[in-house]
Amino acid sequence: MEKIDASKCMMVIVEHMTKLDMPESIGGLVKYKRKKFGRSTMTYYVPKEEN
């Protein structure tokens, strides 16, 4: 995910096991939200806002 060009995407969605904690940020992306579905979780990342 670190190689994804955040300026060319609106959102990245990662499906993973619920017991796996995904990082708050990866490369140019930051965690937006997380939805649990039993043993699976979807974590949503959006590009970091530039100040």
pTM equals 0.87
Instruction: DSSP letter for 5, please.
Output: -
Residue-level pLDDT at 3:
86
Helix H segments across 1-51? none
Question: Distance between CA 44 and CA 16 in Å, rounded?
Answer: 11
pLDDT band for position 51 (cuts 50, 70, 90):
low
Q: Taking residues 13-27, what's their average pLDDT? A: 96
CA-based end-to-end distance of the chain: 23
Is the torsion defined by CA of 23, 29, 35, 36 positive or negative? negative
Question: Distance between CA 42 and CA 34 in Å, rounded?
Answer: 6
Question: Distance between CA 31 and CA 38 in Å, rounded?
Answer: 20
